[in-house]
Structure 1
Amino acid sequence: MTQDLARIRAFVQVYDAGGFSAAARQFGRSKALLSKYVTDLEDYLGVRLMNRTTRKLSLTEAGEAYYREVVQLLQQLDDLDATITNQTSEARGLLRVSAPRNFGETSLTPALFAFLQTHPEVTLDLRLEDRFVDLVDEGVDVALRISAMPDSSLIARKIADTKIVICGSPELIKRVGLPQSGEALRNMPCIVDVNLQGQANWRFVSEDQATAVHVSGPVRVNSPVAAMQAALHGLGFAALPAYLAEKEIADGRLVVVLADRMPAGPSLQAVYPHRRHLAGKVRALIDHLVIWFDTHPVQ
């Protein structure tokens, strides 16, 4: 089996490098050995895989079909090896994490600092900003995002559920009344946060039926903190992340309405690039966050 894999790898390496000499230099193997491996593989399969000339190397039709399949098989084997290795690798080194500012400042930092206490060989570079960073271009190891599924070129793991609440100040409710349904908000002042999924189209559920209600009001913002401040000033009802408004709700400065009509909120996800070898520090952090938010729910 080992010999068979060596022959297959030699075939792939020679083609990827563009020739036997280039592959010998790139992978530190002798040209003669690579040639022998490829010839042995062709003899075993009973078919020519490569057309060789002094200046050019190309794949035969059979070689192209064989190359497509074995490249995937070798990748799967490499990934399996990496998974087993990384399961026992220790978390260490610089860990770059990106997260939304408001969530990072409230709910995330206690989880991250607890992680550092148990992993003293990790140093943290935490970047709190309200934009989708390019993980590869900006060298970010993992991003925490509260959103729908990310770009397909990234890998995501669900960390926890989040919740959106509709809030209004006691003064507002005294002035305009308590909404009895999502539909009632069409005729009541509301704060529109354009960063919220759906923006001015707020979603509600009733008897398993989902509806979208278009709301409007005196203020339009692009920040949940600004939306909460507007709600605290009695300017309208606001759809807010529950973790952000938790203290104001507990203090009675904001009142939650239509709690039984709200759908499930977006999930908190750990997003990282599609890399063959996931660093031990990233794996350890993600595992830690799953456990942390299981015992410290995002309210």
Structure 2
Amino acid sequence: MDRFLSIEAFVRVAETSSFAEAARQLGVTSSVVTTRIQQLEKFVNAPLFHRSTRHVRLSEVGEAFYRECSEVVGRVNELTDQMRELRATPTGRLRIQMLPGYALGHFGAPLAEFNRRYPGIQLDVIVNDRVVDPIEEGFDVAFQIFPPIAESLIERRLFAVRRLFCATPAYIDAHGAPQHPRELLQHTTALYSGYPSRNRWVMTRGDEVVEMELPGMIRSNSVHLLRDYALTGGGVVCLPTLVASAALLDGSLVPILTDYTLSPLSFAAVYPATQRQALKVKALVEFLAEYLGPEPAWDRPLIARGWVS
């Protein structure tokens, strides 16, 4: 029995709650994973999992063993990557999930630069805004605006996702611009459906805090669709600045309620703790942090105009 391979298989099954998914991530057959787990259980003389036709969950012994084993696997991966980093550039395939708001219009350029800098890394980029557990779904890293959904995940925040209410000049000429957040209830609004706060909105101005329910006439999980809708003059739309910045700067859209602030969200890299120092993940996350800088390019001119802070 190769103890490390058996422990690695045990950690993957514990994290994914699936022998099949653990096998897929390790690049072996399910029978190989099963054999490794059985050998490990025989070695420790205790069952590590409770198995049924629908569920795989850790036994009491397995839970205690997992806490130690996950650290061992993480440390071995870290040491291996450190040695590889000393001798060569990172290589291999990296499977990532990318938020559409950043993927469309912003990720292409850094992706090309990353490819030039690290030609040995192949990227599988899945674009969607679902909140995922990277471990369960086999992603090396997910980029999202939601906090991690499991304690076994690490979060590295990359930039603030600022948001503004805006509309076309024609819409404002026809309907007027809201002067207070509650006046939004008198307008046709279109909103992104995937924010963590759902329909609850909190806006602040100095010591004033306005909390309100804003259901929206139109709701969508596509901020690009909402921007296109706003550009038709259909109504007032709340957009992240990474999508709206160009239209705001050329005057196609006009910012509304800029003296009120919506709490910014964080665009973050979320990845398994056992990959904290994985060379490919580290290379991508550190590259994006360097590329984006302290303030992303789309926000700097808006900050200069006082539209966001």
Do Structure 1 and Structure 2 share a fold, with TM-score over 0.5? Answer: yes
Say which of 81, 90, 109 aligns to 1:86.
81
**Deviation (angstroms), 1:216:** 5.1
Note the 1:1-299 alignment, pairs <5 A: 17-18=40-41, 22=43, 72=68, 76=71, 79-80=74-75, 82-88=77-83, 89=85, 90-215=89-214, 218-275=217-274, 278-294=277-293, 297=296, 299=299
**Deviation (angstroms), 1:260:** 2.9
How many positions carry a matched residue from both structures?
A: 245
Write the letter of the residue equivalent to 1:83: E
Q: Give the TM-score, by structure 2 length.
A: 0.68
Corresponding residue for residue 48 of structure 1: none
Query: Hey, what's the Cα distance between the residues in 2 that align with 1:57 and 1:158?
Result: 40
- Is the 8 Å Cα contact of residues 129 and 144 (structure 2) preserved in structure 1? no
**Deviation (angstroms), 1:125:** 1.3
Calculate percent identity across the aligned residue pairs: 26
Quick one: structure 1 residues 271 and 216, their matched pair in 2 at CA, closer, same or farther if it must change by over 3 Å? closer
Any unmatched runs of 5+ in structure 1? 1-15, 24-55, 59-63
> Which region of structure 1 is more displaced relative to structure 2, 171-180 or 207-216?
207-216
Deviation digits for residues 76-123 of structure 1 (CA, Å, limit 9, x no counterpart): 566456435434524211111111223202222322221111111111
**Deviation (angstroms), 1:149:** 4.1
> Which region of structure 1 is more displaced relative to structure 2, 279-288 or 142-151?
142-151
**Deviation (angstroms), 1:129:** 1.9
**Cα root mean square deviation, aligned:** 3.3
**Bigger radius of gyration among the two:** 1
> Which region of structure 1 is more displaced relative to structure 2, 120-129 or 195-204?
195-204
Query: Hey, what's the Cα distance between the residues in 1 that align with 2:46 and 2:173?
Result: 81
- Is the 8 Å Cα contact of residues 145 and 270 (structure 1) preserved in structure 2? yes
Quick one: structure 1 residues 226 and 115, their matched pair in 2 at CA, closer, same or farther if it must change by over 3 Å? same
Corresponding residue for residue 4 of structure 1: none
- Is the 8 Å Cα contact of residues 219 and 230 (structure 1) preserved in structure 2? no
Query: Hey, what's the Cα distance between the residues in 2 that align with 1:148 and 1:290?
Result: 18
- Is the 8 Å Cα contact of residues 217 and 236 (structure 1) preserved in structure 2? no
Quick one: structure 1 residues 231 and 290, their matched pair in 2 at CA, closer, same or farther if it must change by over 3 Å? same
Query: Hey, what's the Cα distance between the residues in 1 that align with 2:72 and 2:138?
Result: 26
Q: Give the TM-score, by structure 1 length.
A: 0.70
Deviation digits for residues 153-179 of structure 1 (CA, Å, limit 9, x no counterpart): 422111111111111111111122122
Quick one: structure 1 residues 195 and 79, their matched pair in 2 at CA, closer, same or farther if it must change by over 3 Å? closer
**Deviation (angstroms), 1:251:** 1.9
SS at match of 2:184: helix
Quick one: structure 1 residues 17 and 143, their matched pair in 2 at CA, closer, same or farther if it must change by over 3 Å? closer
